[in-house]
Amino acid sequence: MSLPSGKDFRPSWPLTSGHIQTMLSSSGVRRMLLPKAAREVLEGAEIVVVDAGDGVRLSGAFTAQKVHAQPRGLAVLFHGWEGSVDSTYVLQTGSRLLREGWDIFRLNFRDHGDSHSMNEALFHSCRIDEVVHALGDIAQRWPARPMALAGFSLGGNFALRAAMHTSRAGIPLSYVLAVCPIIDPAEGLFSLEKAAPWFYQAYFMHKWRQSLRAKQAAFPQHVYFEMSELKQNLRGLTEALVLRHTDFGSLQSYLDGYSVAGDIMQAMQIPATILTARDDPVIPVAAFEKLQLPPNVELDIAEHGGHCGFIRGRNMTSFTDDYIAARFNAVADGG
């Protein structure tokens, strides 16, 4: 049986608009309209803390499947920037995979969800070592095989980078799939500033400032930022926090630190798929078209879908559910 591809996603108007797809993808309206089945992964979920190395702890949620006598495998899901294990797209994908017989682990990155009080140091996007260490702990504690990983947006970027580390770390990851991942962070930042409509940056900045305030409230003895820094734009606040809280000497060095652009993914040793949309207003498609990929990495560019949208119609379900489930199942079935 052939696997679904990006060309199979053909939404009708007005869902042919990348902006509408993007705005609906994480909207409260979508969350309300989703069918009950999209929340099944919440039923019986076990809230857990995983070891991320060097005293770092990350939170997550594990849900065991009840479809088969044995699970089809373990599916690990990464949310996007300022998302969480309870983001709509994570719940929807997790619920679909649960019905397919997969055990599900949803991981919160540092300072996401309600985890601000767990670690004193701030989250930043170059903290890949702790995510890889957490994957190792997850693989040991929930040993269902195969183990497959899917991530969205920044979570897709983390998923791709983690997959390039797992073989060296001895983590039995079989497959990785990234939906609209950040490829070149510097280009993405420039796009949000210059090319994307103003409300995208306003949305992300509002959520980020809320998160930073929650972090400050969790550790009042620690000064994370000055109020004048918090009032800056995306580039200014990012640079201020990079210089204050990381060892990177410049904003550009930090952005390069989590890039997967150019030929970086030549190091990928397991099968991988990247799904994006040509009309994504947040991450320019040009970054994907410049990638130099090995044969085991599939790049699939759909004409429509926006940023992590791919919404099919009024029920607000996403084409990515079928897409991810089909590829995960093929891995489990040896296809």
Residues annotated as catalytic (active site), given as ranges: 153, 280, 307
C-alpha distances in Å from residue 205, one per residue of 25, 76, 82, 114, 193: 17, 27, 10, 18, 12
CB 94 within 8 A of CB 165: no
Closest by Cα among 323, 2, 22 to 197: 22
SS3 148: strand
CB 237 within 8 A of CB 230: yes
Helix (H) or strand (E) holding 199: helix 198-218
Q: How far, in Å, CA of 178 to CA of 180, rounded?
A: 6
SS3 92: helix
Q: How large is the angle between the packed helices 319-332 and 88-99, nearest 10 degrees?
A: 40
SS3 177: strand
What is the four-CA torsion angle of 262, 266, 269, 270, rounded to 10 degrees?
A: 40
**Residue 69: Cβ-neighbour burial (10 angstroms; 0-12, 13-18, 19+):** exposed
Q: Fill in the amino acid letter for 145.
A: R
Q: How far, in Å, CA of 110 to CA of 125, rounded?
A: 10
Q: How far, in Å, CA of 85 to CA of 58, rounded?
A: 12
Q: Fill in the amino acid letter for 201.
A: Q
Q: How far, in Å, CA of 87 to CA of 80, rounded?
A: 9
Q: How far, in Å, CA of 51 to CA of 12, rounded?
A: 45
